[in-house]
Amino acid sequence: MKALGVDAVRVTVLWSVVAEGKKNNKRADDPAGYPAGNWDRYDTLVYSAKQAGIEVLFNVTGPGPAYGHETPPRNRRADKKTWKPKAAEFAKFVTAVGRRYSGLYKAQNGLTPGRVSLWSIYNEPNQGGWLTPQFDVDPKLKKQIAMSPILYLQAQYLNEGDFILYQNPRIIGNSQFLLRDAEPVKSEDPSSRRYWFTYQSGLFDAAEQPKPAAFAYGLPLVVNVAAPDGMGGGSVNVWGQLRFRPNGLQSDTVQMQFRPQGATDWESNGDPIPVTNGVGYFTARLTVPVSGAFRAVWTGEGDPPPSLASREVKVQF
């Protein structure tokens, strides 16, 4: 790889491999809480890559151990290894991996595994071999709906990806695959995996109904805690974009709204934010007294749509 000019290598860190032989979630956020030998292949790889002058990108992903997943219904037991991973348990595993490869952690053998600085989360969550259910019956709608975008919050990751792009001027843009979900393979049994063997990563479903990701794509919003005030509130950094508006406008404004945790009504927070960037980016620093949710609202002047709200972004101080 080095002879070919490779700078970094992507490595899949399988939750199930590191947790093999671990029966419960005790000390799941501690590298020492897992069988020591299960780390060997990753320690060796990180060391070898460093010796060759190659960086390592760890893609930390399921499937995971039995304690890390919900129990599927009887008719879906074939999917038990990938069925509805528990976010809190996966977070503990990611924490353990991060600690071991922080460059500061000393393993049981006294050695310090190398530092890994490049990370990504979950491999192909829109593919049934990694995450299930991809589709399931909604008890209210009485029909099959796409579940994987709900399990990995498609809308949120689209916005966070755009924010990463914004922070890196050498990146021109992101590609969205697809606009609409592909039709299923209608020659296959609707209850089989092969029926959904096409791609369902669109902003709209195959019937052209918008997913939450469609609204998030048109008006991205990211809100990060800047500084807690020690009394339950604090300041936040806001970033967003009016992607749906024409480029080059200098007259748009965005009103940030806030809804305190436990409340039902939205209230304006701060003055309207002027959008002076040529492709619609806007930024702000806001202060709130408690945890809650933010959204950005754009109101037009006779242009359709008359107004548009972003997705809700929850902030916890």
Confirm if 241 and 254 have CB atoms less than 8 A apart: no
What HEC string does 12-41 produce? EEEHHHHCCCCCCCCCCCCHHHCCHHHHHH
* CA triple 165-166-171, angle to 5 deg: 45
d(CA 40, CA 34): 12
Q: Provide the residue-wise pLDDT of the chain in tens; the chain has 317 residues.
A: 888 888 999 999 999 999 999 999 999 999 999 999 999 999 999 999 999 999 999 999 999 999 999 999 998 999 999 999 999 999 999 999 999 999 999 887 777 889 999 999 899 888 888 999 988 888 888 887 888 888 888 999 999 999 999 999 888 788 888 999 999 899 998 777 788 788 888 999 999 999 999 999 999 999 999 999 999 999 999 999 999 998 998 889 999 999 999 999 999 999 999 998 999 999 999 999 999 999 999 998 766 678 899 999 999 99
Region for residue 43 given its phi and psi (left: phi exceeds 0; alpha: psi -120 to 50; beta: otherwise)? alpha
pLDDT of the residue at 189: 86
pLDDT of the residue at 194: 82
Residues 21-39 pLDDT 10s: 999 999 999 999 999 999 9
Domains in the chain and their CATH numbers? 1-126 (no CATH), 134-217 (no CATH), 219-315 (2.60.40.10)
d(CA 220, CA 15): 31
Coil, strand or helix at 306: coil
pLDDT of the residue at 302: 63
Residue 111 phi, psi dihedral angles, 5° rounding = -85, 155
